[in-house]
Each structure stands twice: as C-alpha cells, then as structure tokens.
A and B are shown apart, each in its own frame.
Chain A
Amino acid sequence: MLGGKPLQISARLLGTTTVFDITGDIDLANSPEVRKALLSEIREKKTPKVVMNMSKVRYIDSSGVASLVEGLKASRDAGTRFLLVGLSSAAREVLQLSRLLKIFEVFDTEEAALAS
C-alpha cells in the first residue's frame, strides 16, 4: 500500500556512526522532519558516517528525494559519508526516475553499510 503510514524517525549511535531508522511514507507532510534530522546530524554534529535505513519506507515523494539530496550535499561539504540502506522497490524506482540513484552510496543491508 502506498498511502496511510505516518512517519517515524529514530536514531541509533553505533560508535562514530548514526543510523536513522525511518518508518512510513515520506511526503510533503513530513519531509521537513527528515531534512531537519539529517542536517542536524551532518552539519551540526558532523557525524563521520550517517546511515539512513529505509527498509520500512514504502513511499517517498519529490520533497523526500530533495531532503536526501540535501543530506548528501551537506555530507560532501562536511567531508563525511551519507549512506542509504534497504531501499524498497518503490523508493528505488523514484530515485531511478530522478536519475539520482547513482549519486548515492546504496547498500542492501545495514551490516554492509556499517562495514564499508
């Protein structure tokens, strides 16, 4: 189902890595929350590696994609890493449509992302 899932964002600190677990749909109603969480971690805390676990995100719209791009740009500016994990087919489809999939570091599992 595409519709109807409220967004939940939780963060885990694993050494010098922060993992965000995102659950629900990312759309105009809540993409500012995603953006705020990402930019706080990358720009303000300058966390060396930020992993975004999207295995429970079944819908992401253009405003959500824009938030991811902002996170990536901020990490490049800060000299840190921003990784995506567990893209659903719908999320992967949106990133492919926007031709942005190739600019992100994408991993199938959190273990692979943490080991990279």
Chain B
Amino acid sequence: MSPRDNRRMGSDLLLKVELPSDPSMLCVVRGAMERLTETFGFSASEVRSVTRAVDEALTNIMRHSYGGKLDRRIELSCLRVSKQQRVPSGQGFEVRLVDYGPKIDPAKLRGRKLDEIKPGGLGLHFIRQSMDIVEFKRARGTNVLRLVKYLQPEKREEN
C-alpha cells in the first residue's frame, strides 16, 4: 500500500520494515515497537501490551507460517489511523504483518482454552487480550494480520 493510499484511508505510515523470519530479530523489533508506541502516546502498560502482541504475532509467523525457516520475508508496517468516531482521541496505532507462507487454517487462529494447564497455544490469546482489533486475511498469496490499538486519553497518565 502506498503512502498516498494510506492518507486516503485516514492513516499515516510511521514505520515500515522488512525482516527475515529469524527469531534473533524479535528483540530488535521489541525495542523498536517499545520506542514507537511510547512516542505515539501509549501508557507504560499499553506499550507492553502492543509490544507483546507484535512479538507473539511474529513468533507465530516464524513457527507456523514459515515452519522455523530463518530466511523468509516478513513485512511489518506501523500506521497512525484516525476517523474512528467511537474513540475519543480519534487515533489508533495499527500494525500490519505480511508473510508469504501457505494459507493459514482459520481453525488454528482460535487459540486454546485457558483452563487447561499445558504448554503452548498462548500466543494468540496474548494478542487478542492486548489489541482492540485483530483481523486476519489472505490477500494476493500472502497472509495479512492487522492489529489495532486505540489511544485512550484517560489512561495516558498511567505507568
């Protein structure tokens, strides 16, 4: 999507990076997301939430979409989105993650019940708890995950 397309849709591109599907990149992305969400105006707990959601989403892509291969392409874009009438601040932080892996089975995107004590299956749960919008679609041979978190002005003073 071009910057012009983004502006037409009421969004501004804040960051766009392409990274390999190598888990050693996760700490790099977390550092960048932390700084970017701080600058955007989120509270400390919201910064942790968004950073965690992006980290878990990338982990899912690396593990499930690319099956642990280290050299596949992932695109990460962060945008300022607006014109959301139900949100007092009118602003949201959107993250789009694109991968070129095989189509994901929607049944695998539900996560598991939390009343079971077993390892695994928690990543999607963390993402859904952290973000206001979690949308997945298949487009032009890619998997596109869209995550949105809205600014809540009354919470911005929290730490």
Contact = CB atoms under 8 A, between A and B. Distances in A.
A51 to B, nearest CB: 20
Interface residues of B, number: 31
A27 B59 contact: yes
A99 B129 CA distance: 12
A100 interface: yes
Contact of B29 (A3, A5, A62, A98): A3
A3 B32 contact: yes
Given A61-B52, A97-B129, A1 B34 contact: yes
A96 to B, nearest CB: 10
Contacts of B33: 2-3
Nearest to B34: A2
A100 to B, nearest CB: 7
Contacts of B30: 2-4, 25, 27, 59
A61 B115 CA distance: 19
A63 B122 CA distance: 8
B117 A62 contact: no
B116 to A, nearest CB: 10
Contacts of A99: 114-115
Chain B CB count within 10 A is highest, among A27, A73, A103, for: A27
Contacts of B47: 2
Nearest to B25: A29
B34 to A, nearest CB: 5
A78 interface: no
Interface of B: 23-24, 26-34, 47-48, 51-52, 55-56, 59, 62-63, 114-115, 117-120, 122-123, 125-126, 129
Interface of A: 1-6, 25, 27-29, 59, 61-63, 65-67, 69-70, 73, 90, 93-94, 97-100, 103
Given A3-B31, A29-B26, 9 more contacts: A2-B33, A3-B27, A3-B32, A6-B27, A62-B56, A63-B59, A90-B48, A98-B114, A98-B126
